[in-house]
Amino acid sequence: MVTSIRIFPLIATLATAAVFQGISYLATQAQTYRDYPEDFLVLTRVKVLGVPVDVLLALVVVVLATIVFNEMVYGSQLKALGGNEEGSRLAGINIRRMKISSYILCGFLTAAGTMVMISKSNTTNSSFGPGTEFICLTAAIVGGVSFMGGEGSIPSLVAGVFALAIVGNGMQLAGWGTYAQFIVRGLILLGAVAFDEYQKSASRSRLRGPKDVTTRPAGAA
């Protein structure tokens, strides 16, 4: 839909998420599934050198993503595409192929993350997951990733994840309810987006420089 019909990516994501959420309700009849095989639970219950396997997997993903974005042509082209699609097309980048590959990669990592979450809780149902996308979006924006794309880095993204996790844990320890936590996360997201837009506006103003002042001869009307 994004590459062929050119639907705005965020709208396409929200729409397809709603569709598949409805399908999951119909297919499972809102039943809860638990007691997964021990081989599946290994993802979060086994440790290597004292470090949980899921943490090691996250570290591997972070390292690989950093290498891709900093050292490989694919990462540079992906950032260029996010920053300026038309400019990327004129530069000879295959826009369609880049979009498709990035969504495939995103879907694969989302599936892997979902498996880790299910393994950790050993239970799942059709309402498992909704709301996670909002938390991920907030963490990305807080970590300096531009809402419109083309800006940000993996280390800053990881910092945003940790910052939001610390805030969430603090609210839970303080006994804040779920709805109060949603309010705080929403305010954090609004503040981060507003600050990002303010920085961009200030940067554009500096690039334009001071406005030209046209002087008129004395006595001119």
Q: pLDDT by residue (tens digit) across 26-35? A: 887 778 878 7
Q: What is the pLDDT of residues 182-215, one digit of tens each?
A: 888 889 888 888 887 787 777 777 767 655 444 5
- Are 153 and 83 found together in one domain? no
pLDDT in tens, 90-148: 888 888 898 889 889 988 998 888 888 888 888 887 777 777 888 888 888 888 887 77
The answer to whether 162 and 183 are in contact (CB under 8 A) is no
Domain assignment of residue 216, yes or no: no
Residue in the structure block whose two tokens are 């991920």: 136
In which domain, by residue range, is 104 found? 1-11+31-127
Is residue 32 within 8 A of residue 124, CB to CB? The reply is yes
Based on the domain organization, do 176 and 114 belong to the same domain?
no
pTM: 0.75
Evaluate whether residue 179 is within a structural domain: yes
pLDDT for 47 equals 83
Residues 99, 168, single domain; the answer is no
Q: Are residues 43 and 92 in the same domain?
A: yes
| Whether 111 and 3 share a structural domain | yes
Query: Is pLDDT at 63 greater than 90 in this prediction?
Result: yes
Residues 113 and 174 both lie in one domain: no
- Is there a domain that residue 149 lies in? yes
Element (H, E) at 123: strand 123-124
Same domain, residue pair 123 and 156: no
Same domain, 109 and 139: no
Give the residue among 12, 43, 41, 33 at the shortest CA–CA distance from 127: 33
Chosen domain end from 79, 99, 127: 127
48 with 119, same domain? yes
Residues 157 and 115 in one domain: no
